[in-house]
């Protein structure tokens, strides 16, 4: 998994696996579109034909990194999907149901589901406070002090601006982006809670940054979750928890490029030089959110990566050192 980013993504996943998960409803739409195209007759359709059509549906319904994940899931399951369609199963039956702990509460994604769920349960349950819990309490405390606990004349826009500033003070990088996203989504509830005189813990609970989730009547865990942060973190996690997720092969390519650049001689290369080179590789090989994740991983593991390169380890071993394979 991805260094410090892992906990953020893992805890966020808990918020999403309940009910029908982020891809379930979209999957049903995609399958229904393909059914309509074939008049629900798949007798002569091959797995390759279906894969091509489902990839087009991925392009139509997703973009960027989520599009890549969609296509990976389709590719991993194309034969099963075709068999299910030929057997006349509904669009919901193919992708969604995964009974867990004797309930239908959790719906997850293809073969990645078990790995992701086990990871999130173990990490989330062992954490006393989710990644944003402590920061949320600090931010609310600072905002209350700034306004001297009088929010009677504070507007939603003013509160959002002040809380964004506090995000900068108490979080950084990916966490800072998520902090601001949560505030943007919950600013009205935040202001209402503050005007009602609720304390920091109550305010954070009001926007679901603090939330208790009961997994079953027998297994009851207090799990801290991150509001609707959701799809972005889930997609990142799904990619990472898979055996050799999409970052593994990409990481090896990047490391090979850097090895070529330095003629495989890292004896005089500094950590600063390496991180600059690796971030350049991130820019060349990724974009958008994936680029941000790539650079975050490089920054968090730069010293380990350099040590592995100086030890003349293979690209795969270097990426394992950085927890990418």
Domains plus CATH for the chain? 21-95 (1.10.225), 133-206 (no CATH), 243-321 (1.10.225)
pLDDT of residue 325: 62
Q: Which of these ranges, 30-34, 40-44, 69-73, 251-255, has the smallest mean pLDDT?
A: 69-73
Res 153 pLDDT > 90? yes
Per-residue pLDDT band for 268 (boundaries 50, 70, 90) equals very high
- Beta strand segments in the chain, E: 213-214, 220-221
Of 67-76, 114-123, 264-273, 300-309, least confident by mean pLDDT is 114-123
**pTM for the full model?**
0.34
Strand, coil or helix: what is 308? helix
**Higher pLDDT, residue 171 or 261:** 261
Q: Name the nearest CA neighbour of 96 among 18, 36, 33.
A: 18
Give yes or no for a contact between 103 and 216, defined as CB atoms under 8 angstroms apart.
yes
- Lowest mean pLDDT: which of 39-48, 122-131, 142-151, 155-164? 122-131
Residue 109 burial (10 A CB sphere; 0-12, 13-18, 19+): buried
Mean pLDDT (the chain, rounded): 69
Are 302 and 7 in contact, with CB atoms under 8 Å apart?
no
Over residues 247-275, the mean pLDDT reads: 87
Both tokens of 176, joined, read 């800072």
Strand (E) or helix (H) holding 24: helix 21-37
**Confidence check: pLDDT of 56 > 60:** yes
């Amino acid at each position: 998994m991805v260094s410090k980013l892992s906990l953020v993504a893992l805890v966020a996943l808990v918020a999403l696996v309940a009910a029908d998960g982020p891809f379930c409803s979209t999957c049903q739409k995609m399958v229904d579109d393909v059914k309509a195209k074939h008049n629900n007759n798949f007798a002569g359709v091959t797995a390759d034909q279906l894969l091509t059509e489902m990839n087009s549906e991925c392009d139509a319904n997703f973009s960027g990194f989520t599009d890549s994940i969609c296509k990976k899931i389709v590719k991993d399951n194309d034969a099963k999907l075709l068999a299910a369609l030929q057997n006349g199963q509904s669009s919901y039956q193919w992708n969604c149901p995964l009974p867990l702990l004797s309930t239908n509460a959790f719906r997850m994604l293809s073969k990645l589901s078990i790995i992701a769920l086990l990871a999130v349960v173990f990490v989330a349950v062992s954490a006393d406070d989710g990644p944003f819990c402590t920061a949320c309490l600090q931010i609310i405390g600072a905002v209350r002090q700034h306004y001297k606990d009088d929010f009677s004349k504070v507007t939603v826009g003013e509160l959002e601006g002040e809380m964004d500033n506090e995000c900068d003070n108490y979080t950084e990088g990916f966490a800072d982006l998520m902090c601001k996203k949560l505030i943007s989504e919950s600013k009205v509830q935040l202001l209402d809670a503050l005007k009602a005189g609720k304390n920091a813990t109550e305010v954070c609970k009001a926007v679901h940054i603090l939330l208790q989730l009961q997994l079953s009547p027998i297994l009851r865990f207090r799990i801290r979750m991150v509001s609707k942060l959701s799809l972005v973190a889930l997609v990142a996690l799904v990619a990472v928890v898979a055996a050799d997720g999409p970052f593994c092969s990409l990481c090896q390519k990047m490391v090979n490029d850097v090895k070529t650049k330095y003629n495989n001689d890292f004896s005089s290369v500094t950590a600063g030089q390496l991180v600059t080179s690796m971030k350049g590789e991130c820019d060349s090989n990724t974009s958008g959110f994936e680029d941000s994740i790539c650079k975050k991983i490089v920054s968090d593991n730069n010293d380990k990566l350099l040590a592995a390169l100086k030890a003349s380890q293979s690209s795969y071993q270097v990426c394992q050192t950085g927890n990418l394979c």
